[in-house]
Structure 1
Amino acid sequence: MSSTNSFERQPPLPRDAIISFPGHHVMMVTFNRPKALNAMTSAAQYDLEALFSWYDNEPSLRCAIVTGAGRAFCAGMDLKEWNQTNARRANGEHASQPPMPRSGFGALSRRHGKKPVIAAVNGLAFGGGMEMVANVDLVFAANSAHFALPEAKRGVVALAGSLPRLARTIGRPRAMEMALTGKSITAAEAKDWGLVNAVVEDGTSDCEVLDRPVVKAALCCAAEIVDNSPDSVIISRAGIVAGWEDGSAENASRLLSENWEFALNEGENLHEGVKAFAEKRAPQWVDSKL
């Protein structure tokens, strides 16, 4: 993490992840257990929940990217830890907290949040990794990336939020195929199914994370997002999420207007955007106060 960043409050440092700030107003989180294919422990997920809460409340940040170190994005839950937890339960011990936070696997699979998160999927996105992908806002995938919900092969179920979300995103038949067979799909299939925005070429095996084509694509998208009014981005995202979660376009439109229209109209950025257009200049956005 660069010491040159000036934040209202310094970010919490998560276990098993690296935080960086590779672009103006952009945070990147790199899952960092490459030898374990970035499988996540429960403690690491609670750390990520604290981090993404901080991100949503840090005015200077407007977009986040998540990716994985090594050859995987995330292979899901740490099954060794899960096995140990099962053994403790069999001995009558009780867990002090649920295995994952309220925001779901990796703090993303059920996250509502305020600001956008982009996934740069560099390799395997299995189990919990797939569940995170199902709920982030945009997805870029390397050509060699694969996506799967193999839970049924291990006697468990993808309970972190992806099943109903995938039914909406890729349709019931394809969601059933993934969940009931446990088969993996390629990046090209994922794009064809509407799960990812774009597929890009693979990086070399010794490529630094920031030099990977998939991360560069995510950074280019993030740069386009942060060039826009941060107020407009937050409210536009809220409208899409509301329609996706609720299923009623009219109800989502009503809630969007009731919850956000006054704040948008009273905000500095709306007035700046209109004024900049009239004066034929680039707008100078301020950090969102929403």
Structure 2
Amino acid sequence: MAMKSQGFKRQPPPQSYAAVSFPAPHVMLVVFNRPQALNAMTSAAQYDLESLFSWYDSEPSLRCAIVTGAGRAFCAGMDLKEWNQSTARRVNGEHAGQQMMPRSGFGALSRRHGKKPVIAAVNGLAFGGGMEIVSNLDLVVAAKSARFALPEAKRGVVAMAGSLPRLARTIGRPRATELALTGKTITAAEAKEWGLINAVTEDGPSDGDVLDRPVVKSALEYAASIIENSPDSVIISRAGILSGWEDGSAENGARLLSENWEPALNEGENLREGLQAFAEKRAPKWVDSKL
């Protein structure tokens, strides 16, 4: 799926790893596209993705993004050959160059704060870095054959891209410990029971069009539900949830949300449009967010 011009303010940055398309109004679909390597990521791929998601946040017409994987994996983590080479250079005292992942974390998503929501459509293996991505996304849908794991301890490394403290908050310390210290694999059904994911779908063929997969169709339905609402309200509501998750107490999160966002919400066109549409008993006509 090649990128197509959509009348964007700026065109999206080119990608060496991901296939990017726009399957519905206001929606960006990102397909991790290295199926022969189970979509393992190189460092170059991660910096490309950082540029892409920065562009997504700045493009007014886009309101929701979906990530999925080509073939039979969502993402099997870091390219271990590159990781081994980087470690060897460091041991030999050679200059390692730039960090293997950007500040926004693995795949530019595992530590991303961002402005707009990203939904995962997990179609297969989400191991290592793939699991770290899942741990930080806004909504997660998984095919019933999807599998999740943090196998780093089996390789003598650690999941350092942000998932460990986030999983402790999302699924609780005992279950996060079970994943990280044993390296066990859990099913989509277990992940839903643990509160890691939102929904489980039927499987789809790994070699067909990703848009035909039930898991991607479900993610698109979630995206459509989000897009029906005020883009300003979506951005600020998401910020409030992240504030409660990242910034300590619930009251501190509420204070920060009010101080940082309430004036912008009140001055925006979409708040006035939403209230006026309610009074006039009609559907609101949202405009692209200026936040």
TM > 0.5: yes
What letter corresponds to residue 28 of structure 1 in structure 2? L
1:282 CA drift (Å):
0.7
Residue of structure 2 equivalent to 1:99: 100
What letter corresponds to residue 146 of structure 1 in structure 2? R
Residue of structure 2 equivalent to 1:67: 68
> Please, what is the CA RMSD of the aligned residues?
0.8
**Cα shift readout 1:63-94 (whole Å, capped 9, x = no counterpart):** 00000000000000000111111222233211
Residue of structure 2 equivalent to 1:207: 208
Gap regions ≥5 residues in structure 1: none
How far, CA to CA, are the matches of 1:288 and 1:45 in structure 2? 27
Instruction: Report the 3-state secondary structure (helix = DSSP H, G, I; strand = E; otherwise coil) of the residue aligned with 1:153.
Output: helix
Residue of structure 2 equivalent to 1:191: 192
What letter corresponds to residue 228 of structure 1 in structure 2? N
Instruction: Check whether the contact 2:274–2:284 (CA below 8 A) recurs between aligned residues.
Output: yes
Summarize the alignment of residues 248-267 of structure 1 with structure 2, pairs less than 5 Å apart: 248-267=249-268
1:4 CA drift (Å):
4.2
How far, CA to CA, are the matches of 1:97 and 1:133 in structure 2? 25
Gap regions ≥5 residues in structure 2: none
Residue of structure 2 equivalent to 1:11: 12
What letter corresponds to residue 118 of structure 2 in structure 1? V
How far, CA to CA, are the matches of 1:54 and 1:66 in structure 2? 15
Q: Confirm whether residue 247 of structure 1 aligns to residue 245 of structure 2.
A: no
1:95 CA drift (Å):
1.5
Q: Confirm whether residue 111 of structure 1 aligns to residue 116 of structure 2.
A: no
- Per the normalisation by structure 2, the TM-score is 0.98
Residue of structure 1 equivalent to 2:283: 282
Q: How many residues align?
A: 290
1:247 CA drift (Å):
3.1
How far, CA to CA, are the matches of 1:194 and 1:74 in structure 2? 20
How far, CA to CA, are the matches of 1:10 and 1:90 in structure 2? 41
How far, CA to CA, are the matches of 1:205 and 1:259 in structure 2? 44
What letter corresponds to residue 275 of structure 1 in structure 2? Q
- Per the normalisation by structure 1, the TM-score is 0.99
Instruction: Check whether the contact 2:5–2:11 (CA below 8 A) recurs between aligned residues.
Output: no
Q: Confirm whether residue 166 of structure 1 aligns to residue 137 of structure 2.
A: no
Residue of structure 2 equivalent to 1:142: 143
1:207 CA drift (Å):
2.7
What letter corresponds to residue 32 of structure 2 in structure 1? F
How far, CA to CA, are the matches of 1:272 and 1:122 in structure 2? 38
**Cα shift readout 1:134-180 (whole Å, capped 9, x = no counterpart):** 00000000000000000000000000000000000000000000000
Instruction: Check whether the contact 2:71–2:207 (CA below 8 A) recurs between aligned residues.
Output: no
